Every structure is written in structure tokens, then in C-alpha cells.
Amino acid sequence: MTVLALFHHAGGSAAVFRRLTRLLPDDIRPVVAELPGRGRRWREPALRTAEEAVRDLTDLLAAEVGTDEELSIFGHSMGAYLGLAVAAALERRGGPRCQVLFASANLAPQLATPLFADGTAKASDEEVLTCAARYEALDARLLGHPHIADRAVALLRSDFDICDSFVRTLSRTVTESRVVVCRGQQDAFGDEHTDPWQWRSVQPLTTLTFPGGHLYLETAGAEPLAAAIASVMSEPAQSRT
């Protein structure tokens, strides 16, 4: 059995992967991770730094993935950055090792700049929501419910702090995993933004595009994405150089 760990975007939750996980073949076991503060972990305090998030996700995979199982990671947007750091952390820990990192819908880490120069604490709710809108990171329908909206903004603040923490401290991380960039054809990121992912792995880069925008995995891109993931994960592991 092979395992596919899935890491969500900023402001997101496991729900973003519902369609994709239904489309995966039976021989791939999805492990959908959620950071604290949302979904099944909504009672837990949200994290604020990339180091905390990486530790949380690394511990989860160490507990969830058996010694006889092969692991790949699919990280979407913020999850792509955390996936890179988790893959490297697992290598340092000694297992389980990530064979393929599917880096979805984000530019190469070394090209990124912090979203909020002084952190989100000094940003207004409007500024946080404007940033989220640029990346389709919030369902606008939630804003009609004041209590839910407050929680959503607070969660976005914590996740944006995680993203900015990664950019400041972990953006030069390198993994032994093969990196496969996945992106929507209508997303803002082009080859010039994603080709430099090559420098985050010791293996050659593959880039795949799918119908749709930033959240292509919830729309027309879901079916071809699931097929592509299954195809890549069935390939023999490439030798590390």
C-alpha cells in the first residue's frame, strides 16, 4: 500500500481534498492532515510558525505511515511549502521517507516574499481578507455569519504567519524527494514562478498543469489530477544523486 499525505492551503481544511480523495485508486491510502484550529482539530489553538506546523505534521506522518508503506506528499499552496519542509524533516529523522512531493499551486519558495512585513498582528481584518481573496483562500459566504467570519479571519492570520515564517526561515530547504509541480492553467503562477522549484530537490523537476485556477483540485482539474498522481506514484522510485 502507498500513502498520500495531503496538506491544505492557508485558511483551508481537509474539506478541500474531498473530491480528490474520492477519485484516487484503492491502492493509494490518503492521509488528510489538518493543522490545529479547524475541522476535527478546531478546539486546539492555532499554530503561528512554520517550525511548529512542520513538527506537527511530521509527528502525524511518523505515527500514521507504516514501515512497509511508501509515502508521497501532496501540498496545496501553503501546504506545498510545508510539504517541502516535512519531507526534509522526515529525511533527518530517518523515516518514513517521502518519495514524491507534489507541490501544488505555489511559486518556488526562494522567490517568495512575506505577505505581511510586520506580521498579521498589525494588519486589519480587511487587509487579511484582501490577501486571502488574491489566493481564493476564503469562501466569501462565510463572511455573512459574524462568529464564523471572526474565526475564519483569526485562522487566516495564523496561517499567513506560518507562510511568512517559512519564507523567512525555511525557503532554502532541499529535499531528496522527487518534486512534481502541479498548477491550474488559469492560476497566476507560470513557468517563471514554478521552474525554480528544481533547486529545492536533488532530483529532476516535473511540471503538470490542469484545467482551472488556484483551486483547480476542487473543479475540472480534480479528475486529471487524481489520474496523474496515481501514474506518478506507480512509477519506480528514481535514484537519488
Whether residue 54 is predicted with pLDDT greater than 90 in this model: the reply is yes
- Going by C-alpha positions, the residue among 191, 50, 182, 193 that lies closest to residue 109 is 193
**What type of residue is 39?**
G
β-bridge pairing 2-7 and 28-33? parallel
Whether residue 208 is predicted with pLDDT greater than 70 in this model: the reply is yes
What share of the chain has pLDDT > 70, as a percent? 93
Q: Enumerate the domain spans of the chain.
A: 2-233
The residue ranges of DSSP E strands in 146-210, in sequence order, are 178-184, 206-210
Grid cell 466569501 is found at: 140
For the segment 194-209, the average pLDDT, to the nearest whole number, is: 98
Mean pLDDT of the chain: 93
Q: What is the pLDDT of residues 156-169, one digit of tens each?
A: 999 999 999 999 99
Whether residue 139 is predicted with pLDDT greater than 80 in this model: the reply is no
Whether residue 10 is predicted with pLDDT greater than 70 in this model: the reply is yes
Integer angstrom CA distances of residue 156 from 46, 57, 199, 210, 228: 10, 18, 29, 26, 30
Q: What is the pLDDT of residues 57-98, one digit of tens each?
A: 999 999 999 988 999 999 999 999 999 999 999 999 987 999
For the segment 191-195, the average pLDDT, to the nearest whole number, is: 98
Assess contact for 160 and 10: CB atoms under 8 A.
yes
For the segment 16-37, the average pLDDT, to the nearest whole number, is: 97
The residue ranges of DSSP E strands in the chain, in sequence order, are 2-7, 28-33, 70-76, 98-104, 178-184, 206-210
H helices present in 24-124, as ranges: 50-64, 78-93
What share of the chain has pLDDT > 90, as a percent? 82
Q: Which CATH class is domain 2-233?
A: alpha beta
Q: Give bridge partners of residue 33 from the DSSP assignment.
A: 7
pLDDT of 142: 58
16-20, 54-58, 132-136, 196-200, range with the lowest pLDDT: 132-136
Whether residue 241 is predicted with pLDDT greater than 80 in this model: the reply is no
Whether residue 207 is predicted with pLDDT greater than 80 in this model: the reply is yes
